[in-house]
Amino acid sequence: MDTKLKNSKTKAMVYALLLALETLAVSALAVCGSMSVSLGNMYWVKDLEPEPDLWTYSGSITNQERYEFLRSVSGAAAIVLVVISVALLLALILLVGRSKTDERGRIYINWFDKIWSEAQIILGCLTGVWFASIIAVMHDIWMSGAYLNVWESTTPEEILFYTRGPFPESAEILYCTLGLLISAFITLECLLSLIKKIKARQFWEKSLLGGAFLAIYRSFKSSDKLLFKVMAVLVVGAALSATWIGLIPVLLALLICVPKAVRKYIEIRKGVEEVRSGNLSYKIPVETDEKGVMGELDRLAAGINDISLASSIAVQNELKNQRLKTDLISNVSHDLKTPLTSMITYVDLLKKEGLDSPAAAEYLDIIDRKTQRLKTLTENLFEAAKASSGAMPVNMEAIDLSQLVSQGLAEMEEKLAARGLDVRVKNGCEGVRVLADGQLMWRVIENLLGNVAKYALDGSRVYIDLEHIGGSGAAGAGDDGSASGSAAAGSAAGSASAGSAAAGKVRLDVKNISRDQLNISAEELMERFKRGDESRNTEGSGLGLAIARDLVKLMHGVFEITIDGDLFKATVLLDAAQD
């Protein structure tokens, strides 16, 4: 990027230097050329009265040697300056538009280039006329004998194009010098700006007449009234073809537009064949103009591209769903089969040993635990199905999230203490309430804390952070420097209502160290029946995170998890309620 910027600045400096040299060369050419012409056209005859003609002068040469020297030098200098000026002009034409590009790689158009082309042409012509008038003034100055000191003029002032009058010599020199430089610079700028717009293909767009025609053409092109447009084109073409003058532009339009339309039709036909053959990744080229307006065939091509993209996404989703269904059946079968097998085994033992057996109480206790386990798994399955389908009723209200977290910690205190977990709570949203469903939010917190109690490393610390992100959008990352919170904030921006956006967001982060090695991605861990413990020896069902995600989504929030080594982090982002 730095190299491109450096090259762009270098090209801009070279262009400015060449433009300055061209201005000086053209101005010097005007001086030398006017002097050479004046010296070549002087036929001095002493005491000869001139005819009343603009180009007739009289006088006598006083320094023949100096006269010959100035005539030779001015003529040679004029020839050299012509070559230099032409070479510099060609270099400027080649370099214009290449020194700077916009963010899309196109030729950069500055404020002067945005002036209507007709205005630039008029301005260039006016400054050109001014430049020519200064040359005429200088011609008369040389013919009058001023500055050169090689003859004495007897030409009456009334037939001269320019008379000095009360102006001193310094004023004449200043006017001619500044006038030549300014008029030459403006004329060159207008010419190069027009060439730049031609290179950028914006000559007609940046003109008054062309802009008006293009505006009409774009509104006509973007219209969906295809029949009206075709009939209008045919009627106008037929009317113009009735005259010899109108026939030429009609033929030119046919030669330009028909091959382009046929080429686009062939591309669309090829794209349809590719999609029909199963190549859903094939894209038909789509062209737009500078304003992003597409023609009828381009819109058709874009629609076919959208259909192929949607079909490709549908196929990928279907493959993913089939894989998820296979995994779901496998996991459900495993999780249902395990407690059922235990229950059947211990029921058989009770049948054989009888209720009077010393181990009968233990068998019944195991059967009871497995029954409760099966009941919990079945309830989780139904809850996951309702949450993912969106059929669960949601009652949005202002609730105190920090109070819900405290209540959840109180109920989970025994399980957390049994694992030796040290819970550190950082509450940064005192007095701030969130817009959520109390029952659903309690289920989310219960799942998150239950996940910590099941899978956190024994004797480790657990961090629970509550943070209020102001309505101005100035949100920092969490205290661990993770970007997950800020990413979640960006994702939730689109779902926030206008009122809640003014109140800001509330973010809940739950971080713990996993007991088992997390050789799994965050996306996979969010799937149903996925666990960090791939051996499936724990009591979890793998539904907690999936249920929490779906419940938070029902409350118009964002649920994300981040895995960094053995660090597990769950983030919940909800809209803050209005005061």
Query: Tens of pLDDT along 162-202?
Result: 555 556 667 777 888 899 999 999 999 999 888 888 888 77
pLDDT in tens, 41-69: 665 544 444 454 444 566 677 777 887 88
What is the residue whose two structure tokens read 């610390």?
461
pLDDT at position 428 is: 85
- Distance, in Å, from the CA atom of 304 to the CA atom of 283, rounded to the nearest integer, reads 8
Ranges of residues in the chain with a pLDDT under 50 are 1, 45-50, 52-55, 472-502, 528-538, 540-541
CB-neighbour burial class of residue 525 (10 A; exposed 0-12, middle 13-18, buried 19+): middle
HEC assignment per residue over 104-154: CCCECCCCCCCCCHHHHHHHHHHHHHHHHHHHHHHHHHHHCCCCCCCEEEC
565 in any annotated domain: yes
Instruction: Give CA–CA dist 118/402, Å, rounded.
Output: 69
In a domain, 563, yes or no: yes
Give the pLDDT score at 176. 87
The encoded tokens of residue 377 equal: 């798994």
The amino acid at residue 256 is: I
In a domain, 318, yes or no: no
For position 571, which CATH number holds? Answer: 3.30.565.10
Residue 485 CA to residue 510 CA, distance in Å, equals 11
**Residue 249 falls within a domain, yes or no?**
no
Exposure string of 151-180, with b = 16+ CB inside 10 Å and e = fewer, is bebbbeeeebebeeeeeeeeebeeebeebb
Angle value at C-alpha 539, between 536 and 545, nearest 5 degrees: 85
Determine, yes or no, domain membership for 314: no
Measured CA to CA, the distance from residue 554 to residue 236 in angstroms comes to: 58
Domain membership of residue 385 (yes or no) is no
**Amino acid, res. 463:** Y
Q: Is residue 233 part of a domain?
A: no
Q: How far is CA 42 from the centre of its chain?
A: 67
Q: Number of folded domains in the chain?
A: 2
For the record, the structure tokens of 291 come out as 């304003």
d(CA 518, CA 530): 11
Answer with the one of 209, 224, 256 that is the final residue of a domain.
209
* pTM, to two decimals: 0.41
Q: Of 151, 179, 209, at which residue does a domain stop?
A: 209
Q: Cβ(545)–Cβ(525) under 8 Å?
A: yes
What pLDDT, on the 0 to 100 scale, is given for residue 363? 81
Domain of residue 18, residue span: 2-209
Q: Indicate whether 81 belongs to any domain.
A: yes
Contacts of 59 (CB under 8 A, 6+ apart): 42, 44, 46, 145, 151, 152, 153, 154, 155
Looking at residue 23, its pLDDT comes to 92
For residues 357 and 354, what is the distance between their CA atoms, to the nearest angstrom? 6
Of the candidates 135, 140, 132, the one whose C-alpha atom is nearest the C-alpha of residue 41 is: 140
Domain end marker among 169, 191, 209: 209
pLDDT at res. 229? 65
